[in-house]
Structures are given as C-alpha cells and as structure tokens.
Amino acid sequence: MIVTSTAWAQTPSDNQHALIGPPQLHALPVTAPTLVEAYGPDPLQIGELRLPAGPGPFPVVMVIHGGCWTKGYETLAGTAPLASALTDKGVATWNIEYRQVGDTRGGWPGTFQDWGAALDHLRVLARTQPLDLKHVVTVGHSAGAHAALWLAARPRLPADSEVRGADPLKVSAAVAIDGPGDLRTLYGFDKDICGRPIFVNLFGGAPDAQAGRYRQANPIEWLPLAVPQFMVASVVLEPSAAQAYAAAAQSAGDKATVITLENAGHFNMLSPADPTWAPVEAAILAAAKAEQ
C-alpha cells in the first residue's frame, strides 16, 4: 500500500504568498556552520557541517542542492536555510557542494563521484565529531533529489562501476524533494524544465549511446534499495510520477511514502518560513530519528 499525504493545497483564488526562487532562498537567515571541510581536492568539493546543541551522537542529514545538474543554476547557499532549520531540531546536517556540468570534470563520472565522496567523508568527520552513522539520511531537492535516491542505491551498483566507490557508506533513508527517482520520466523534457538539454551533457550522450551510464545513474533500476524512501511531489516530480516510483519501490519490498504538495512553488518548500516546509521537515525528521 502506498501512503499518500496531501500536505498543503492552494488554488489561484487563495494564493496566500508569492512564489520564491534561489535569490530569495539565499537571502534567508542561516546559522553558521560548525565547520566547513573539504572532501576532495577541488574547491567545489566542500561541505558545511552543522551540529545541534548537546553531546550527541546525532543522526546526520546529508543535504544536496539541485540546479539541473548544471553549473550556474544553484549552490549550497540555497539549502543552507533548510540545513539550519533541521539542525535546530536536533539533527546534524552536512550540506554539500559538488561539481556539475560546466565545472571541471563535472558530469559523468565526476558529479556522481562527488556525491559518493561527500557521503563517505562522513566517516572521516565522525572521527572527531559526534555523528551517528547508523542514522544517515540523504535529502535532496530537484536534481539533488535524484542524488539522494541514487546514494541510497549506490551500494547495489556493480563493484567495477566507476561511480560506486570501493566501500559505499550505507544510508538509513532517502528523501527526494520535488525531483526524479526515475530519470526516464524526464527524457525529452529536460530542455523544457531546465531551458537547455541536460542529460546529453550529463552523461556524454543520448540514452541509446550511453545506456550503461543512464542505467547506473537511475535509482529505480536498482530497487529494492532496502531503506525507506520519501517522495515529495509537486512541480518537477509530478504526483503521478511519484506514485509510479513508490509503487515500484513497494513492489520490490521497500517502504515508500508520497507527500503531495499541490500547487506549491518548486523553491517555496525549501524555506522554513513557508507553510509547505512543515510536511517536508516532518518527513525528514521522522526518517532521521527512526529506530533502525
């Protein structure tokens, strides 16, 4: 059974607040990171660790921003308010930057390798910081939602995959905020969503020319992921696509929950001051604090 929650509804007649975008997100107040640390040699391979008050150890939420997988759309500044809000609720957050298409060695395989390296770097951080690596939740928005699910799937990739890594850190749950769990649903529509072709540049070719790369990158191809998955459906991840992914996950034996935000702005749900944030935050905290 698929659990669907309609968390917030809005019609043109009761539009209570304006839609926001990255500039408005970047202007929101944030807490200073506990530390900013590199997980690789490239200047973009960094992350912001925020720790809540108290001795810990704390569950960890790894936060991955979106931006059409492409340089110039978004940075970790857009997810810093989200990370700050979650830290205030008692979880550690690891808000990462990574190389995208247009950055040196971004795209395939660099973008995927960065996601994996940033996650695995939590082992290094846990040597000196009070982190509970048995409770690690990946949370991503838009293209970052794809990353969140893909990181949960990464241990299932072939051992010789150039994007898997030798010893992938396993996550305990994944939360995909308005982004795809099945890349096939966006084939041919990436230009409409992002304003330019994305996947050909991300994978170095069309699906028929780079079938292996597309398959390795597509979370739905690796079900079951053996962890709970939360799909926040709205603009990019339409409810029908979220339901289809959840159905596939549950058929494979996974727990999958769909949270539908009707007529919500794609970026509003990242603002802790926006009413659409409440159900998203609740799902993340439930995943982070769940008993294993």
Render pLDDT for 184-242 as a digit per residue (tens, 0 to 9). 999 988 888 899 999 999 999 999 999 999 999 999 999 999 999 999 999 899 999 99
Average pLDDT, stretch 151-174?
98
Q: What is the pTM of this model?
A: 0.94
291 — pLDDT class (breaks 50, 70, 90)? low
Alpha-carbon span 24 to 77, nearest angstrom: 11
Of the chain, the percentage scoring pLDDT greater than 90 comes to: 87
pLDDT tens track for 5-46: 433 333 333 444 689 999 999 999 999 999 999 999 999 999
The Cα 203–Cα 199 span in angstroms is: 6
- Residue 54 banded pLDDT, cuts 50, 70, 90: very high
Please report where in the chains the tokens 């060695």 appear, as a residue. 105
> Three-state SS for 8?
strand
> What's the whole-number mean pLDDT along residues 126-137?
98
Q: What is the percentage of the chain residues whose pLDDT exceeds 70?
A: 93
H-helix or E-strand spanning residue 49: strand 46-50
At 30 the three-state DSSP class reads coil
Cα R_g (the chain), whole angstroms: 17
Q: Determine the average pLDDT of the residues in 139-167.
A: 98
Which residue in 163, 158, 165, 138 sits closest to 149, CA to CA?
Answer: 138
pLDDT bucket at 263, cuts 50 / 70 / 90: confident
The domains found in the chain, sorted by start residue, are 3-288 (3.40.50.1820)
Note the pLDDT of residue 17.
Answer: 61
Q: Is a pLDDT exceeding 70 seen at residue 161?
A: yes
Tokens 């289809």 correspond to: 244
Antiparallel, parallel or unpaired: β 229-233 and 173-177: parallel
Strands (E), 127-251: 131-141, 173-177, 229-233
Confidence of residue 262 (pLDDT cuts 50, 70, 90): confident
Question: Rounded to whole angstroms, how far apart are CA atoms 74 and 21?
Answer: 10
What's the token pair of residue 182?
A: 């099945």
More confident call, 292 vs 16: 292
- Check residue 13 and give its pLDDT: 33
Model confidence pLDDT, tens digit, residues 92-128: 999 999 999 999 999 999 999 999 999 999 999 999 9
Q: Amino acid identity, residue 62?
A: M
Tokens, residue 80: 């810093």
CA pair distance 56, 50, nearest whole angstrom: 12
Instruction: For residues 87 and 36, give the distance between their C-alpha atoms in angstroms, rounded to a whole number.
Output: 15
